[in-house]
Amino acid sequence: MLKKYSATPYVIWSILFIVIPLILIVTYSLSTKNPINGQLVFSFSNYRKFLELKFINVLLKSVTLAFKATIICIILGYPMAMILSKMEAKLQKKLIVLFILPMWMNFLMRTYAWMVILGKNGFINKLLSMVGLNLNLLYTRGAVLLGMVYNFLPFMVLPIFTVLLKIDNNYIEAAEDLGADKLTVFRKIIFPLSMPGLISGITMVFMPAVSTFVISNLLGGGKEVLIGNLIEQQFLVLNNWNFGSALSVILMIFILVFMAFINKFDKDNDDKGGVGLW
């Protein structure tokens, strides 16, 4: 009895609060409100509206920005993960805790901290004023990019680190015995074996970056409209839930396609089930 039914409350909960809400989003996205009686009528018009150039451009801009953030995170994060994985155990443990710590701090606080630093009278401008400069750093696209990299860098480093730690040293030694130089060992052994970690890192950076509306609102000052901002506006300002739902479905499909594409590079990820943070 216990064996059989102990998952039942969870299954019911998931259907109520995961499956049905998703069905609702799809339903809303495929309908419009009749202006006379407020009834929902089936229509593709929300998706047709998305095909207008300005909305497509918003999606393209979000994707480009998230892509840039992901690349920067790989460039900064991969070497960091390698250095961490080769440290002696005691120091390594301490540094990993230190590395996770900022991640556990409230996400808005971390973003707010950059508002303070980049602001007109902020720390960086204070330093620059000594040499007579004053730059507009906050409320720019660069600030949004910085916010993404800052917030999501640990998500890139940790999965790569975990995978690197598991690599059997014998492979590396064997390759070296057979005359491979350092670069070849990295190219032929370390990098291919770290692929699963790199891929979860990419998903864990790209996904929150492409769907964010907080970073673009706070560090972009409302000037940088991303797909997340567009969805938020439709729901909380413009009250067009149907179009907002259509945008959410498009974002969801985009992310699913992206994940299917990126998982192709990872040959054996059957038992991981996608997410690998915990």
Partner 1 sequence: MVNKYIKRIYTIAIFLFLYAPIILLIIFSFNKSKSLSSWDGFSLKWYIELFNDKHIMKSLYYTLLCAVLSSIIATIIGTFAAFGIFNMKKIQRKIILNLNNLPLLNPDIVTGISLMLLFAFLSRYKLRLGFLTMLIAHITFNIPYVILSVLPKLKQMNKDIYLAAMDLGATPFYAFKKIVFPEILPGIITGMLIAFTMSVDDFVISYFTTGNGVSNLSITIYSMTRRGIKPTINALSTILFTVVLSLLLVVNKRSKSIKDLT
Residues 196-215 binding partner 1 (CB under 8 A) are 207-208, 210-211, 213-214
40 binding partner 1? (CB under 8 A): no
| Residue with Cβ nearer partner 1 (50 or 161) | 161
* Burial of 227 from C-beta contacts in 10 A (0-12 / 13-18 / 19+): buried
| Least CB distance to partner 1 at residue 100 (A) | 7
Fill in the DSSP letter of residue 238: S
| Least CB distance to partner 1 at residue 179 (A) | 21
243 binding partner 1? (CB under 8 A): no
| Residue with Cβ nearer partner 1 (3 or 53) | 3
Site for partner 1 in 58-77 (CB under 8 A): 76
Q: Of the candidates 255, 262, 266, 269, which one interacts with partner 1 according to CB under 8 A?
A: 255
Q: How many residues bind partner 1 (CB under 8 A)?
A: 91
274 binding partner 1? (CB under 8 A): yes
Fill in the DSSP letter of residue 277: -
Give, in order, the Cα–Cα distances in Å from 24 to each of 10, 30, 35, 211, 246: 20, 10, 20, 20, 11
Q: Of the candidates 46, 202, 244, 246, which one interacts with partner 1 according to CB under 8 A?
A: 244
Rounded to the nearest 10°, the torsion over CA 30, 36, 37, 38 is 40
261 binding partner 1? (CB under 8 A): no
Q: How many Cα atoms within 13 Å fall on the side-chain side of residue 76?
A: 15
112 binding partner 1? (CB under 8 A): yes
Q: Is 6 helix (H, G, I), strand (E, B) or coil?
A: coil
Q: Is 33 helix (H, G, I), strand (E, B) or coil?
A: strand
CA–CA gap between residue 215 and residue 222 (Å, rounded): 10
* Residues 213-232: x where in contact with partner 1 by CB under 8 A, - otherwise, as a string: xx--xx---------x--xx
Other C-beta atoms lying within 10 Å of the C-beta of residue 235: 15
* Token reading at 211: 């769907």
Stretch in the footprint of partner 1 (CB under 8 A) among 36-44, 61-69, 249-257, 260-268: 249-257
CA–CA gap between residue 20 and residue 73 (Å, rounded): 36
Stretch in the footprint of partner 1 (CB under 8 A) among 40-48, 65-73, 159-167, 173-181: 159-167
Angle at 133 between CA 132 and CA 138, to 5 degrees: 150
Beta bridge partners of 31: 42
22 binding partner 1? (CB under 8 A): yes
167 binding partner 1? (CB under 8 A): no
Site for partner 1 in 113-132 (CB under 8 A): 113-117, 119, 121-123, 125-126
24 binding partner 1? (CB under 8 A): yes
